Amino acid sequence: MAIVIDNNALSTIPFFSENQVLRARDLNNLVKAVFDQLRQNRIFNIGLGIVEGFSVSWDEVAGAIVVSRGYGVSSDGYSFDLGECTFTHYRRAAGLADGYNRLASDCDEYDDLLQRIANGGYELGQPTATDVQLEGWQPLFLREGENPNDEPIASGNYCLLYLYREAQIARASCFSECEAKGAEQVGNYHAILVPAQPKDDNGPSGDSFEVQLPDVPRLPAFGLVEERIKLCRILSWQDLYRSYHTACVAVRAELTLAYGSASLLLDPPAVADGDPDPTADDTALFKRLAETLSGLTDKLFPPDPGASCTDIQYLYGYYRELIQAYAAIYHLLQGQTINLGNSSESANLVIRCAFSGHLGLRGLYFGDAGSTPIISDKAEVADPCRSNRILPDNGEERRNLLSEARSLLARMQTLATAGNLLLSTWEREGLTDLRLTPDARRFPFLQGRALPFYYQPSVMNGWRVGEQPNVQVYQYVKLDADHPLLFAEEDWDFYQIEGHLAKPLELTTFEDDTGQAVDTGVQARLKELRDCLNLAFDITAVCLDEIGEEESAPSIEGTDWGNWYKNTRNDLIGALKPIVPRDKNKADDVDPVVLKACREVMTFLEGIKDLSDISGWRGLQPVDFCSPVPDTLVSDRLDDFVTSYSALIKAIEQARQEQQKGDDVGEDELPYLDPRLAECIRQAAVAERLFRETIWREGKLAGFALSHPGLVHLGGVPKGGTFVLVYKTTFDREGLIRELRRFITGTDINIGQLSDEELLKFARRFQFNVSLFNRKEVVADFCLPYLCCGTGPVYVNTVPIPPPPPLELLAADRNCYVERDNEPEPLVTVTVNETGGELTFTVDGNVVGSTHSVSALTAEYPLSGLTDADLASGALVVTAHYRKDDRSAEDLFRLTLQPIIRQAAINFLRVEPDAAGNNRCIFELVAVISPTFQQREIRFGQNVANVAEDNTFRLPETTAQELSVVTLVVRLGKCEATIELPLPRKPIEPVDPNVVITPPQDFATVLNTRRTQRMESLEDQLSDAEPLENDEAYKRTLLYVSDTGENVKPDKGLEPALTALKDLTTAEPERKTFVHRIGRILAVSFLDKLALIGKKEELTEANQKSLDLLKKELDALGISRNTVFSDWGVSELYDGVDRTRLTNIGKQLRDE
């Protein structure tokens, strides 16, 4: 049916046609419709209230109220877009309503506000001086000397607001200037102080407000003790019960208050006129839940229940579900701005008229006349005067929100009703069948979970409310044809397990037809149910019995340690028995010391037939399940045995030595014993005892919890997890009575009326083994999120892991190494028997190069980090070290350099007769050869002449006259270098030894370069954040290194520089690295000077003294002389300095 619109109504939009005469209302209707739509657009797209800005402050200097720039929308859609305003004056607002029209809204609240403004409001402004005199403005703040206001602002609380008013101003017609026709609609904004009214808190009668509910109560975790979760302290059934009960009591008051607050919000109690406002305590839901929890926590599950109430974990689960039910309504409503009117119209109207035609800005307080106004100390968002932003209104969404909230409240009311619970009657109701129900725990809300069995089936109707994922929720059912787990899985991640508490863990029954014993206990039945449904989780059981004073880890038959000990014990007894004669009269034939020690060892072996017989272990008592099993143990009896066995070994050796000294050496009847055997027995005993202790502790809840962190009670087990049954040992009274009645007849005693103590005493009279009637009763369950333990405790014979084989290492010698561009570092071939370790090289105990990771059994590794000093000898002994885990291996190898003849020539020196009177020609070999140490010889034909240390060799005069060419052979180990040299025929004039050697021009360049490099090295120290410019050690070293005088004196300035270095080391030990750096530069500069001032090997007394001083101070400063020699770079001086002199200085420096 079409909607009929009255085209003559003022609110309709006119339709224009050609030649139509337009009426005023046609155009007015068009303007009004557009403006109404604009207001609606602001409401539904921007929202209501202050969007931003409009902060209020007091300007002390100007004596004015300042309102910052802002934007907002009144609840009926009028826009407030104003810049910053400063208000210095006020006046009464009684005549403010004059000349204004009523706003285009249906809000009576606006008219009420205008009435309040007229009766007690004030208008704020910043008038000119003329306006102040003409319009009655008065200053907000009176300065010193100013007269009091005629009409001061009455003291009290005020709300500062922006008020919007509209007025029509008549104007001239478009065609006539003498008669006013038409008008202009003008909107004005006013800053108004209106007396604040107290909030109307008489319940949710239709006001719009922000929901503030109590926080969701938090249920303390099981095992929480002193801000720590310590399940390892749960040592008995009483501890477990107390932990559950304490957690429930701790949250009870907070939980009932939360339920009452939710009920007060959505279902408040009726209040008669004049009665005080209701609180959460006054709601029916608060009282209902308080009564239910009191009956459960104080009566059904009292603080001290004795041996009953083994199903207290169901109470813990019930508390958790109550909290989750409240959490759903909390997260739905908390922080929402809602209205609780009875209809959509009233709800919509109340919000639209909450602050029609105005925006509230801030609360202010005015005291004495002329005093500074006080701005409210509340935050802006909490100020009751402020029109906080309300998001775009959607009445349908709000109604859906409240509808869902009320359905969640209805579920809370259902759960809080004691009549819907079966916690006190579940056993009488026959709900004792073992059940396994699919569940979905990955969603953080209650409605996605399976309904626990301790609720009435009718609770299912209100259990699944609100929004939830598409997961089917099931009620507990038996394993029949309709069980959900028999069908395709619906994305379950949890299995809820029920009906196992207060049942025997193990129960042996006999089948009627076969008489075969069958385990029908909880663990076996649950395993059968799991296998039947093909589910993925483990099952294990742990004990909760209180630990007795004598209780310890039980022995375990067939362990490797025990079997080894038995065999070793038998062998040892067989070896020692012949020493101990059965006839004490023949004891004189055995050494008394040996006999005494042997008897002590035999006493131990005969008393300890099994390792479990050893007692008195220290370190295990008292048992602390919160601490791990110790790594080792001590037993005085074992220590005495090891001592006795060591004494026996020593006595047998001494007796054997005495026998060998005697003249009559007969057959050696004393046994040969392994000296390590007693220690091996001790280690085996400790290992087995620790193994038994570990197994025993993990059989207890406290020990199991320490070994498996994450143990928690969830009322079931996650997919792929482990379900942990907890049991305690109880007296099976019914089983004992049943057996007594089967086998004992003819007695007048009513055994069913006997107490437990009397019943046990009666059973012992008939030789009943009453220990067989101890029942393992399941009292709790936990779960782990992973598979850990199989379907029960299994004792595994642990075979000790054999030690890994020793590492083997073979490093091949590297002969005739020549430094080349493609191999700047020598490569060493290393072979190992196992990869995965680290390889290092050392020379004289010092690591050279880097560490290498070994990934191949045979590979080549670079030997880096070698200095010239290391290679000076030509044949270097290197140690290869290979380490993996706690194993290591070493091997020595040699690195031999290939000799290189860089320069060589032969000079004729003289002719000398030998001892036989034959003339021999003496020649001098002048050569530059590296490395320094090698064997040199002159080969001519089949003959050889050795080159002496003074670089001379001798040839028979006749031979020398015949030869024109000889071969210089340089040999270093297996490595050899040769060169043919011409043999001079006439002598060369000898050099005067007193003439100072003048180095060639190119050698001078070498010396200058070396000095410049050392100067630069010193300057580089300035970049290391050292305050060097004024440092005495630095200045002394720089002065010594930079000395370029022609008369070179090595000792000049050396001692002061060394003294300054030593003083710096004493004063500032932290600068040791700096001292080492410049000390090495100083030392090599000295060596250069020392090499240049003399000839041959001779050193003057003064030079020798300076060299000794340098060596002494280097040792005192901790600077390695080998390092200094390496820094010297002696090979660069071979072209200009006598080689024997350089060799002598190097040897003295290194004490060779």
CATH number at residue 908: 2.60.40
Strand partners, 860: 829
- Tell me the average pLDDT across 845-868: 85
- Per-residue burial over 279-302, b if 16 or more Cβ lie within 10 Å, else e, is ebebbebbbbbbebbeebbeebbe
What's the pLDDT score for residue 2?
Answer: 42
With respect to residue 66, please indicate whether it lies within any of the assigned structural domains: yes
Residue that is last in its domain, among 656, 691, 726: 691
What's the pLDDT score for residue 656?
Answer: 80
Question: Is 521 buried (19+), middle (13-18) or exposed (0-12) by CB count in 10 A?
Answer: buried
Q: Give just the sign of the alpha carbon dihedral 463, 469, 470, 473.
A: negative
- Tell me the average pLDDT across 954-971: 87
Q: Both 472 and 517 in a single domain?
A: no
Q: Is the pLDDT of residue 839 over 60?
A: yes
**pLDDT grade, residue 1095 (50/70/90)?**
low
Q: Both 729 and 816 in a single domain?
A: no
**pLDDT grade, residue 234 (50/70/90)?**
confident
Give the range with max mean pLDDT: 589-593, 669-673, 960-964.
Answer: 960-964
With respect to residue 931, please indicate whether it lies within any of the assigned structural domains: yes
Better pLDDT: 813 or 769: 813
DSSP reduced 3-state for 694:
helix
Better pLDDT: 770 or 180: 770
Q: Write out pLDDT tens, residues 61-72.
A: 888 999 999 999
Q: Both 187 and 227 in a single domain?
A: no
**pLDDT grade, residue 53 (50/70/90)?**
very high
Question: Is 470 buried (19+), middle (13-18) or exposed (0-12) by CB count in 10 A?
Answer: exposed
The residue type found at 1014 is R
Query: Do 896 and 817 meet the contact criterion of CB atoms below 8 Å apart?
Result: yes
**pLDDT grade, residue 477 (50/70/90)?**
low
Give whole-number Cα distances, 880 to 256, 373, 834, 896, in Å.
76, 89, 15, 16
Query: Do 89 and 150 meet the contact criterion of CB atoms below 8 Å apart?
Result: no
What's the pLDDT score for residue 319?
Answer: 92
Q: Is the pLDDT of residue 668 over 70?
A: no
Helices (H), 751-889: 756-765, 868-871
Number of Cβ within a 10 Å radius of residue 352: 21
- Tell me the average pLDDT across 73-96: 89
C-alpha 1133/C-alpha 1011 separation (Å) is: 13
Helices (H), 191-236: none
With respect to residue 1120, please indicate whether it lies within any of the assigned structural domains: yes
Q: Is the pLDDT of residue 698 over 50?
A: yes
- Average the pLDDT over each of 217-231, 416-430, 481-495, 854-868 and give the range with the smallest value: 481-495
Q: Both 602 and 642 in a single domain?
A: yes
DSSP reduced 3-state for 125:
strand
Residue where the block lists tokens 């059940």: 435
Quote the tokens at residue 481.
Answer: 């044809």
- Tell me the average pLDDT across 336-345: 56
- Average the pLDDT over each of 474-478, 521-525, 558-562, 940-944 and give the range with the smallest value: 474-478
Helices (H), 662-755: 677-698, 701-707, 733-743
C-alpha 1005/C-alpha 1002 separation (Å) is: 5
Checking DSSP bridges between strand 943-946 and strand 935-940, what pairing results, if any?
A: antiparallel
With respect to residue 338, please indicate whether it lies within any of the assigned structural domains: yes
- Answer left, alpha or beta for residue 911, where phi above 0 means left and psi between -120 and 50 means alpha: beta
Better pLDDT: 430 or 1105: 1105
Q: Is the pLDDT of residue 1046 over 60?
A: no
173: which DSSP letter? -
With respect to residue 894, please indicate whether it lies within any of the assigned structural domains: no
Better pLDDT: 13 or 925: 925
C-alpha 1135/C-alpha 1133 separation (Å) is: 6
What's the pLDDT score for residue 896?
Answer: 82
Q: Is the pLDDT of residue 739 over 70?
A: yes
**Mean pLDDT value across the chain:** 80
Q: Is the pLDDT of residue 209 over 50?
A: yes
- Tell me the average pLDDT across 750-775: 76
Is the pTM of the predicted complex or chain greater than 0.95?
no
Q: Is the pLDDT of residue 509 over 90?
A: no
Q: Both 578 and 618 in a single domain?
A: yes
Q: Both 286 and 414 in a single domain?
A: yes
Q: Write out pLDDT tens, residues 255-282.
A: 999 999 999 888 888 877 677 888 888 8
Question: Which residues, 6+ apart, have CB-to-CB distance to 655 below 8 Å?
Answer: 591, 593, 594, 670
**pLDDT grade, residue 505 (50/70/90)?**
confident
Query: Do 871 and 897 meet the contact criterion of CB atoms below 8 Å apart?
Result: yes
Q: Both 190 and 215 in a single domain?
A: no
HSE (side-chain half, CA atoms, 13 Å) at 536: 9
Residue 988 has φ and ψ, to the nearest 5°, of -105, 140
HSE (side-chain half, CA atoms, 13 Å) at 884: 18
What's the pLDDT score for residue 792?
Answer: 42
Residue that is last in its domain, among 691, 721, 753: 691
C-alpha 1104/C-alpha 1110 separation (Å) is: 10
**pLDDT grade, residue 6 (50/70/90)?**
very low
- Tell me the average pLDDT across 921-945: 83
DSSP reduced 3-state for 472:
coil
Q: Write out pLDDT tens, residues 268-321.
A: 888 776 778 888 888 999 999 999 999 988 888 888 877 678 788 889 999 999
DSSP reduced 3-state for 844:
coil
Q: Is the pLDDT of residue 470 over 80?
A: no
Q: Both 670 and 709 in a single domain?
A: no
Query: Do 333 and 405 meet the contact criterion of CB atoms below 8 Å apart?
Result: yes
DSSP reduced 3-state for 778:
strand
What's the pLDDT score for residue 79?
Answer: 92
Q: Both 25 and 55 in a single domain?
A: no
What's the pLDDT score for residue 271?
Answer: 75
With respect to residue 250, please indicate whether it lies within any of the assigned structural domains: yes
For 965-1036, strand residue ranges (E) read 965-972, 975-982
Give the closest residue to 165 by CA, choosing from 211, 257, 98, 238: 98
Domain range holding 1062?
1001-1149
% of the chain exceeding 90 in pLDDT? 12
Domain count, the chain: 8
What's the pLDDT score for residue 991?
Answer: 40
Q: Is the pLDDT of residue 468 over 70?
A: no
With respect to residue 995, please indicate whether it lies within any of the assigned structural domains: no
Residue that is last in its domain, among 888, 917, 933: 888
Helix axes 1101-1117, 1139-1149, angle to 10 degrees: 40
Q: Both 849 and 760 in a single domain?
A: no
DSSP reduced 3-state for 883:
strand
Q: Write out pLDDT tens, residues 646-657.
A: 888 888 888 888
- Tell me the average pLDDT across 132-137: 82
Residue 400 has φ and ψ, to the nearest 5°, of -65, -40
C-alpha 682/C-alpha 686 separation (Å) is: 6
For 367-513, strand residue ranges (E) read 374-375, 435-439, 494-498, 508-510
Q: Both 286 and 304 in a single domain?
A: yes
Q: Both 1130 and 1023 in a single domain?
A: yes
HSE (side-chain half, CA atoms, 13 Å) at 853: 2
Residues belonging to the chain: 1152
Better pLDDT: 139 or 741: 139
With respect to residue 182, please indicate whether it lies within any of the assigned structural domains: yes
Q: Is the pLDDT of residue 667 over 70?
A: no
What's the pLDDT score for residue 1072?
Answer: 81
What's the pLDDT score for residue 794?
Answer: 38
What's the pLDDT score for residue 1044?
Answer: 60
What's the pLDDT score for residue 191?
Answer: 93
Give the closest residue to 190 by CA, choosing from 211, 207, 167, 157: 167
906: which DSSP letter? E
% of the chain exceeding 70 in pLDDT? 82
